[in-house]
Structure 1
Amino acid sequence: MTAPSTRRSGLRPTLRLRLTLLNGVLLVGAGAILLLLAWLLVRDALAPAADLRPGTEVVLDDGTRLDADQWEDQLLAAAKWQLLVKGLLALLAVSVVGVVGAYLVAGRALRPLHQVTTTARHLGETTLDQRIGYAGTDDEVAELANTFDAMLDRIAAAFESQKRFVANASHELRTPLAVMRTEIDVTLADDTADVAEFRRMGAVVRDASERANGLVDALLVLARTEAQSGGGLDRRVETDLAGGAARALSAMRREIERIKVRVKTDLADAPVVGDPGLLDRLAGNLVENAVRYNHLHGTIWVSTGSDGVHSRLVVRNTGFEVDQADVPGLFEPFRRGGRERTGARGSGLGLSIVRAVCGAHGGTVDVIAQAGGGLEVTVTLPAAGAPIAATTDGRA
Structure 2
Amino acid sequence: MSWRPRLTVRLRLTLSYALLLVLAGGVIGVIIYAVMRFVPNYPLTAANPRDQTPVATRGEILDTVVKLTLYALALLAAIGMGAGWIIAGRMLRPLQEITSAARLAANGSLDHRIRLGGPRDEFTDLSDTFDEMLERLERAFTQYRRFAANASHELRTPHAVMKTMLEVAIADPDHQDVRELARRLHETNQRGIDIVEALLALAALGNRKVELEPVNLASIARQAVAELQPEAEAAGVELSTSIEGSIVEGNETLLHQLIINLGQNAIRHNLPVGGTAKLTVQAGRLTVVNTGEVIDPAKVATLAEPFARGARLAKHSGGGHGLGLALVAAITTAHGGTLSLAPRPVGGLTASVHLRPATPTPHTTF
**Under a length normalisation based on structure 2, what TM-score does the superposition of the two structures give?**
0.85
Give 1:12's match in structure 2, choosing from 6, 15, 36: 6
Measured in 2, the distance between the counterparts of 1:152 and 1:182 equals 44
Q: Which residue of 1 aligns with 2:256?
A: 280
Note if contact 1:238-1:274 (Cα within 8 Å) is conserved in structure 2.
Answer: yes
Please, which moves more after superposition, 210-219 or 9-18?
A: 9-18
Counterpart check, 1:219 vs 2:199: yes
Secondary structure at the counterpart of residue 319 of structure 2? coil
Q: Structure 1's 253 and 155: CA in aligned 2 closer, same or farther, altered over 3 A?
A: same
Whether 1:338 and 2:341 are equivalent positions in the alignment is no
Kept after mapping to 2: 8 A contact 1:261/1:291: yes
The letter of the residue matching 2:222 is A
Structure 2 residue matching 1:91: 3-state secondary structure: helix
Contact 2:248–2:358 (Cα < 8 Å) also in 1: yes
Verify: 1:301 aligned to 2:275, yes or no. no
Partner of 2:92: 110
Name the structure 2 match of 1:86: 68
Equivalence map 1:1-396=2 (5 Å): 10-45=4-39, 61=52, 75-124=57-106, 126-132=108-114, 134=116, 139-194=121-176, 196=177, 198-228=178-208, 232-233=209-210, 235-295=211-271, 296-306=273-283, 311-336=284-309, 338-339=311-312, 345-385=319-359
After alignment, is 311-320 or 249-258 more displaced? 249-258
Q: 1:116 to 1:187 in 2, by over 3 A?
A: same
SS at match of 1:44: coil
CA contact (8 A) 2:19 2:80 kept: no
Specify whether residues 188 and 243 from structure 1 end up closer, same or farther in structure 2 by C-alpha distance, changes over 3 A only. farther
Question: In structure 1, what is the Cα distance between the partners aligned to 2:82 and 2:158?
Answer: 71
Aligned partner of 1:67 in structure 2 is: none
Amino acid at match of 1:383: P
Aligned-residue offset at 1:121: 3.7
**Structure 1 residues 178-233: Cα deviation after superposition (integer angstroms, max 9, x where no partner):** 11111111111214234x2x3222211111111111112222222222344xxx42
* 1:100 alignment partner, SS class: helix
Shift of 1:338: 2.7
**Displacement of 1:162 after TM fit?**
0.8
> Following the alignment from structure 1 to structure 2, what is the Cα–Cα distance between the partners of residues 162 and 43?
78
Query: 1:126 Cα shift?
Result: 4.1
Note the alpha carbon deviations across 1:312-352, whole angstroms, 9 max, x for none.
22222222222445432322222237336999921222222
State the superposition RMSD in angstroms: 3.3
Alpha-carbon spacing, 1:314–1:152, altered in 2? closer, same or farther (3 Å): closer
Say if 2:291 and 2:349, in contact at 8 Å, map to a contact too.
Answer: yes
Contact (CA 8 Å) 2:270, 2:315: kept in 1 or not? Answer: no
CA contact (8 A) 2:224 2:259 kept: yes
- Give the secondary-structure state (helix, strand or coil) at the position aligned to 1:316: strand
Contact persistence 1:109–1:141 (CA under 8 A) = no
What stretches of structure 2 of length at least 5 have no aligned partner? 361-366
Q: Which amino acid aligns with 2:300?
A: V
CA 1:48–1:77: 2 relative to 1, 3 Å: closer
Q: Is the 1:300–1:316 Cα contact (8 Å) retained in structure 2?
A: yes
TM-score by length of 1: 0.79
* Aligned-residue identity in percent: 35
Distance 1:301 1:191, change over 3 A: closer
Give the drift of 1:376.
2.4
CA 1:122–1:363 in 2, change beyond 3 Å: closer, same or farther?
Answer: closer
**Residue pair 1:331, 1:352 contacting (<8 A) in 2 also:** yes
In 2, distance between residues paired with 1:153 and 1:365? 21
Stretches of structure 1 that go unaligned for 5 or more consecutive residues are: 1-7, 63-70, 387-396
Which moved further from structure 2: 173-182 or 262-271? 262-271
CA contact (8 A) 2:295 2:312 kept: no
Who wins on radius of gyration, i.e. which is larger? 1
Confirm or deny: 8 A CA contact 2:116 2:124 kept in the other structure: yes
Q: Deviations over 1:296-327 (max 9, x none)?
A: 23222222233xxxx22222222222244543
What secondary structure sits across from 2:174 in the alignment?
coil
Cα separation, 2, equivalents of 1:83 and 1:126: 62
Give the drift of 1:27.
0.9
Aligned match of 2:364: none
| Deviation for aligned residue 1:291 | 0.7
Residues 79 and 14 (structure 1 numbering): CA distance in 2 closer, same or farther, change over 3 Å? same
Deviation at 1:164, TM superposition (A): 0.7
Q: Number of aligned residue pairs: give it.
A: 357
Q: Secondary structure at the match of 2:240?
A: strand
- Three-state SS of the structure 2 residue aligned to 1:366 is strand
Q: 2:363 aligns to what?
A: none
Instruction: Give, in whole Å, the separation in 2 of the partners of 1:319 and 1:341.
Output: 10
Instruction: State the AA in 1 paired with 2:282.
Output: G
